[in-house]
Amino acid sequence: MSSHRVAGKGRIDTTRPVSFTFDGRRYSGAAGDTVASALLAHGVHLMGRSFKYHRPRGPVTAGSEEPNALIGTRRGPGRFEPNTRATVQEIWQGLETTSQNKYPSLKWDVGAVNDAGYMLFSAGFYYKTFMWPKSFWDKVYEPFIRAAAGLGVSPSEDDPDRYASRNMHCDVLVVGAGPTGLAAAHSAALAGAKVVLVDEHAEMGGALLSDPDVQIDGAGAWTWLASRLAELRALGVRTMTRTTAIGYYHQNLVGLCEKLTDHLPDLPADTPRERMWRVRAKRVVLAQGALEKPLVFHGNDRPGVMLAGSAQTYLNRFGVLVGKAPVVLTSHDSAWFAAFDLADAGAKVQAIVDTRDSVRDDLRAGASARGIEVRLSHTATGTSGRLRVKSLRVAPLRADQVGAATEIACDAVLMSGGWTPSLHLFSHTKGSLTWDDTQTTFLPKDTPEDCHIAGASRGLWGYEAALVDGDKAGREAAQALGLKIAAGRFEVAQDRTGSGVSHRELPSDRSPARSKAFVDFQNDVTAKDLRLAVREGMRSIEHVKRYTTNGMATDQGKMSNINGLNIAADALGKPQPQVGLTTFRPPYTPTTFGCFAGYHRGSHFEVTRKTPIDGWAEAHGAAFEPVGQWRRAWYFPQPGESMDDAVRRECRATRESVGIFDASTLGKIEVMGPGAVEFMNRMYTNPWTKLGIGRCRYGLLLGDDGYIRDDGVIGRLGQDRFHVTTTTGGAARVLNTMEDYLQTEWPDLDVWLTSTTEQWATVALNGPNAAALLAPLVEGVTLSDDDFPHMSCAECTVAGMPARLFRISFTGEVGFEVNVPAPMGLRLWELLWERGRQYGITPYGTEAMHVLRAEKGYIIVGQDTDGTVTPYDTGMSWAIGKKKPDFVGMRGLARPDLQAPGRKQLVGLLSEDRSKLEEGAQIVFDPNQPVPMKMVGHVTSSYDVGTSGRPIALALVEGGHDRMGEIVHIPMPDRTIAAKITPTVFVDPDNARLKL
């Protein structure tokens, strides 16, 4: 038996020993222990160092609100988790755990010098200290902060675990399976509702697990609990343990994180580590209970100082005496019961020190019967002990004057500053709160959600009150769903009711400046810090919180918020409700990224769209680039080639003979119907009425503001049918825009829009030999300038496949784009590849495509334009149907600013020193002007691997169209480059190469 284990106590199974390690040392525990309870059973309180001062710390709680006992847990490679609460983590055979924030060891820590420098590290320390000199940031301050900050150590390996996500629908979701939640689930289920009951602990029962002597309906609490749980299951209630309701979202959507494997010695092959449940409940009952508050006094963070209710939990649930000679320090009745339970289990309770001047007779009688000394009207002014509390210094209070102090020797201090209703999920609903002066706390008021809150979480105290209120909440939830049930009845004996008072920091004879009375244990925030923040001008609780970091740690101020508020309100001289409470936000407790990500990781993180020819490109060594959700062949390097080598070769081959390009990702929209021509006239800048069947036109799409949104070649395949192409990344956006105008502005038009992007595979052939290669395969069209000139389109047969053939060019060479049904795309590609060998056919990727088009001055929307560029700015006024009464963007183009002189216009740039300009580089007219210089434009496209014999660039330059031949300057970090403004077309300005 471990030194502090009490035989016959607790719900652990001592017949099933479990061994685990903490900081390399082996400890034994029992099945059902948490890391904290197992270590406490060995008398170990010291479990970590604090975040800022590296002060030795032990557990203050027995639950998920624990601020101090944060540990790392390990289960082999990749399975390390920092900041696990030792009070929640169940032990299993072989578990490895480590303490945090210590160097070189937990007992001897170098960082504890911060503690000695306490006067320096006060509120706003970071804001004040690291301000200047500016040059210190990179080399001094940031490395210091990075080394000192952070809680625990991040895992560095990939997470090998799997995480699942599920949806659930139910009539009533009950959060919290203490007496309130059990009663609520029972009445709702009896009424016929489909009920789900969740609890974050390993077993259900809540406070009942820590109070076995309470009698309910004639049975002990644990017997009643077991039969009630059996009854709930028989009623069809779904019960979920180790399941935390992390957030309450709109319209009764509650997120649950269910932990499935963290407590198991062996990982089952078929079970995820965690499961995220998205529960849409018709009604929600919140029964989260209440959280005990610490008392704020000098040295209240020493290992061995713990919440009284938690000591009671360690005893009754885990069979552990947290101290053999504890002293109880309280302002609430509940701690008296903790004292009684510990005394009855063999502890020598040194004293019950109560700040109040009178307490109930039955409590005094209970103390007297156990021979426990009682000191009323007393305050605590300090503790002693280095790694474990050795004594509590107490002093009598007379009319708020602190009298002569005495030391009480002890090995634990069990404190209680009263209880705070857990309002976290209620606050997530935007529920309003009301201040209760009697209890010195906020209570829930109204919520916009279909939500009930019951029991201790609305300030009720005692088991009977909780059961009755839970029963009522379950009944009301059922009633809201049209189900009826009579009120339940509960016979409760030996109930533990109580009340108390709330304090700011306890009165002390110690200088406030030298007092380390902690409010937020996790972030090391003291009462002094909060008062200092107010003195330095913080007025709102939100400012005080951020300046001091009170309540900003991973426990979100579960223990510190109300104490912090009481102190700040006092310092501000205002009542608490006028100071207000900071906002609780999801998640309720720290939740893994894995749980949120669920299945969406690795290749499932985002869709990768691939064309039918993608596999061929991969087999032929293509390098790929992402374009929107597509992965596109970027270039096809041959052995030993750099990217530049490959792109240069691909460009040359296309200009000299024939290149083949996978254009399947181009967006394609079929526009059909009697109103199709009118629709096209209204959508695109160009005129479409006179475009003949079998002809194509470059179409430009603007927003109503007049700026370029998209472009693409559009073919007219019939009187009522257009084959519209869009940019690869713009397809969905263009279709959405078209649908918007069609559905909501022009419902008079009889038009259907269909996305056909993935129905067609598109193979582009470009180069002087493109026609010679393709012609023998085409049936129904003669590939001559007379019969099928540039900008023609036709439905025909290519290599026996039904095809839509376009003669268009995005390279400046003779070009064809063959669309065949997607499943035939690879067959067409391979056939052209085979038959093209005689011409030295070369596959080219998106990079060569970009170079070849830039040499012709063809824009890429989104690269050469940025949402503030008009067709006039890009020199494409020819694309505008000026006789049309309207099109999207026509009125926008007439806006004064879009007509004003000095707009940035698209031009070519040739660097004087023949160097390649950097895309995105800023342009100035006068390189000798003082900094900051006036920037007059930027480089939009730049290449030096093309066929024009020198690097080329496109740029947007103020008034560029009227500055042909002028020199502009591009300041770079190492030099300033001069460049000449030119037209945008660098190759074949007369388009002679487009002819056969």
- In the complex, the smallest distance separating the C-beta of residue 275 from another protein, rounded to whole angstroms, is 18
- In the complex, the smallest distance separating the C-beta of residue 250 from another protein, rounded to whole angstroms, is 5
19's tokens: 């061994």
Cis, bond preceding 587 (omega within 30 deg of 0): yes
Contact 825, 763 (CB under 8 A): yes
Scanning 481-592, the segments in alpha helix (DSSP H) are: 527-535, 541-548, 561-572, 576-579
Question: Which CB, 298 or 682, lies closer to another protein?
Answer: 682
- In the complex, the smallest distance separating the C-beta of residue 605 from another protein, rounded to whole angstroms, is 17
DSSP-derived 3-state class of residue 467 = helix
Question: Which CB, 486 or 900, lies closer to another protein?
Answer: 900
Question: Which CB, 13 or 740, lies closer to another protein?
Answer: 740
Burial class (CB in 10 A: 0-12, 13-18, 19+), 603: exposed
> 10 Å Cβ neighbour count for 912?
11
Question: Which CB, 196 or 893, lies closer to another protein?
Answer: 893
Residue with the two structure tokens 């990500």: 597
- In the complex, the smallest distance separating the C-beta of residue 194 from another protein, rounded to whole angstroms, is 19
- In the complex, the smallest distance separating the C-beta of residue 667 from another protein, rounded to whole angstroms, is 16
Question: Which CB, 39 or 888, lies closer to another protein?
Answer: 888
> 10 Å Cβ neighbour count for 358?
9
- In the complex, the smallest distance separating the C-beta of residue 297 from another protein, rounded to whole angstroms, is 43
- In the complex, the smallest distance separating the C-beta of residue 882 from another protein, rounded to whole angstroms, is 12
- In the complex, the smallest distance separating the C-beta of residue 903 from another protein, rounded to whole angstroms, is 17
Q: Which residues contact 287 (CB under 8 A, 6 or more apart)?
A: 174, 175, 176, 177, 178, 180, 181, 184, 453, 454, 455, 457, 470, 473
Question: Which CB, 743 or 877, lies closer to another protein?
Answer: 743
Question: Which CB, 357 or 740, lies closer to another protein?
Answer: 740
Question: Which CB, 499 or 737, lies closer to another protein?
Answer: 737
Burial class (CB in 10 A: 0-12, 13-18, 19+), 897: exposed
Question: Which CB, 351 or 669, lies closer to another protein?
Answer: 669
Report strand pairing: 326-330 vs 412-416: parallel
Report strand pairing: 305-307 vs 937-943: unpaired
DSSP state of 714: E
- In the complex, the smallest distance separating the C-beta of residue 928 from another protein, rounded to whole angstroms, is 39
Q: Which residues contact 243 (CB under 8 A, 6 or more apart)?
A: 198, 199, 200, 256, 257, 258, 259, 277
Question: Which CB, 896 or 902, lies closer to another protein?
Answer: 896
Scanning 208-293, the segments in alpha helix (DSSP H) are: 221-234
CA–CA separation, 342 and 336 (whole Å): 10
The beta strand positions in 756-874, using DSSP E, are 760-766, 778-779, 792-798, 801-807, 815-821, 842-843
Burial class (CB in 10 A: 0-12, 13-18, 19+), 79: middle
Sign of the torsion formed by the C-alpha atoms of 75, 76, 78 and 83: positive
- In the complex, the smallest distance separating the C-beta of residue 874 from another protein, rounded to whole angstroms, is 21
Q: Which residues contact 979 (CB under 8 A, 6 or more apart)?
A: 909, 910, 911, 912, 917, 953, 967, 968, 969, 970
- In the complex, the smallest distance separating the C-beta of residue 958 from another protein, rounded to whole angstroms, is 23
* Helix axes 334-344 and 308-318, enclosed angle (nearest 10): 40
Q: What are phi and psi of 184, to 5 degrees?
A: -65, -45
Contact 152, 197 (CB under 8 A): no
CA–CA separation, 311 and 334 (whole Å): 12
Question: Which CB, 218 or 482, lies closer to another protein?
Answer: 482
Question: Which CB, 739 or 779, lies closer to another protein?
Answer: 739
Question: Which CB, 705 or 785, lies closer to another protein?
Answer: 705
CA–CA separation, 996 and 987 (whole Å): 17
DSSP-derived 3-state class of residue 530 = helix
Question: Which CB, 438 or 744, lies closer to another protein?
Answer: 744
CA–CA separation, 157 and 66 (whole Å): 27
Question: Which CB, 677 or 890, lies closer to another protein?
Answer: 890
Residue with the two structure tokens 């002094």: 528
CA 675 to chain CA centroid, Å, is 46
Length of the chain: 996
209-213 contact pairs (CB < 8 A, 24+):
209/11, 209/313, 209/316, 209/317, 210/309, 210/312, 210/313, 210/316, 210/317, 211/312, 211/316, 211/337, 211/463, 211/496, 212/316, 213/494
Question: Which CB, 227 or 899, lies closer to another protein?
Answer: 899
- In the complex, the smallest distance separating the C-beta of residue 682 from another protein, rounded to whole angstroms, is 10
Question: Which CB, 536 or 705, lies closer to another protein?
Answer: 705
* Helix axes 179-190 and 463-480, enclosed angle (nearest 10): 30
- In the complex, the smallest distance separating the C-beta of residue 891 from another protein, rounded to whole angstroms, is 4
Q: Note the residues at the interface with another protein (CB under 8 A).
A: 249-251, 253, 278, 430, 448, 704-705, 736, 739-740, 743-745, 747, 885-886, 890-892, 894-896
Buried-state track 177-200, b at ≥16 Cβ within 10 A, e below 16: bbbbbbbbbbbbbbbbbbbbbbbb
Question: Which CB, 278 or 356, lies closer to another protein?
Answer: 278
Q: Which residues contact 579 (CB under 8 A, 6 or more apart)?
A: 540, 541, 565, 568, 569, 572
836 — alpha (psi -120 to 50), left (phi > 0) or beta?
A: alpha
